[in-house]
Amino acid sequence: MAQAEFSEIPTQSKMRKKIGEGGFGKVYLYCDPNTSLLFAIKHIKLVQTKAELSQFTDKLRNEIQILSSIKHERIVQYYGCEESKEEVLIFLEYMPGGSLYDHMHDFGPFNEAVTRTITRQILQGLAFLHESNIIHRDIKAANILRDTVGNVKVTDFGVSKQLTSITEAGPHTTVGSFHWLAPEIITSDNYGKNADLWSLGCTVVELLTTKPPFADIEPIQVILKIASCKHPEYTLPKVTSENLREFLNITFKKDWNARTSALKLLEHPFVEVCKTLEEIERKDREINKLKEQKVCKASDEIVRKDREIIILKEEKEILLRALARYRSRLNDGKGQKTKFA
């Protein structure tokens, strides 16, 4: 589905239905009658008693203006915002597949193969945000949205600090996310981008089991557990590979510097195999494109296109053999982990 592009925020849009709800407000699906494009608007009720309200809404507006200039295939697009005395409206890209949390609620946990692909795509989004000096602060399945073919994008990033200050939920807006918090966020004001990697580890556990670590502990008590534990408590499926377990061990290191980085984790064996699959898909797209171009070409051009197709097919076959060897090693070693430096 093509992403909506607006030269300015639609002013005569029509609401269709509610598509989501969270700590900061409700999300509705809208349609721009001038273009028929679909988009989402998050309605956020404001605290009307705070003297600092205009200051915080100004910060929110400025931050969303910056975020609206950020474009990446793994990031839900911000379009802008409007505010009144009662609420702030944030205009967002519409993702028809809903959240990963919704998907699990309807269909149960994801298997490791799908979790691997999702994790790689989240890491791609986080690597881009971190390079842009943006910390998400609230990575969890509910904040990862799907398109119609299973690809995912990260949403609800960058503005949570301002929203906490101006919404009716006030300082309690993070209650629903306590189970995903990194220990350094709890114990210190000095935390960095790698806090998102701890939350990513919690999200991977959530995808495989439908629950984050410490799921059976009340939110207030879980803060003490996270701050004091050497490693989070969770139970993974018995068939979980060693590569996945080692990936989680990295994300759950108490020393946040030891979690490396989102960019570095893209090279971890647990997710790196997806790079081969992505390359195979790219080769297929190139082959199909060349086949389409042949239809309108002269005979000598057709011969050249045929040669290009043969080369692409040979390259694809090499990638398939490499993928088969990787899977064979996993099967022979019963999921034995591959070294990650």
Reported residue count of the chain is 341
* C-beta of residue 244 within 8 angstroms of C-beta of residue 268: no
The closest alpha carbon to 129, from 73, 186, 82, 174, belongs to 73
Structure tokens at 313: 């097919």
Report the side by side order of strands in the sheet with 87-92: 14-22, 25-31, 38-45, 87-92, 78-83
Q: Please report the DSSP string for 246-286 in residue order.
A: HHHHHHT-SSGGGG--HHHHTTSHHHHHHHHHHHHHHHHHH
Q: Please report the DSSP string for 146-215 in residue order.
A: E-TTS-EEE-S-S-HHHHHHHBTTGGGGGGGGGGG--HHHHH-S---TTHHHHHHHHHHHHHHHSS-TTT
> Which one of the listed residues 138, 196, 306, 332 is annotated catalytic?
138
What is the DSSP-derived secondary structure letter of residue 228?
A: H
Phi, psi dihedral angles at 134 (to 5 degrees): -115, 125
Per the annotation, where are the binding residues for ATP? 42
Interhelix angle 195-209/242-251, nearest 10 degrees:
140
Q: Active site includes 284?
A: no
Catalytic residues, by residue number, are 138
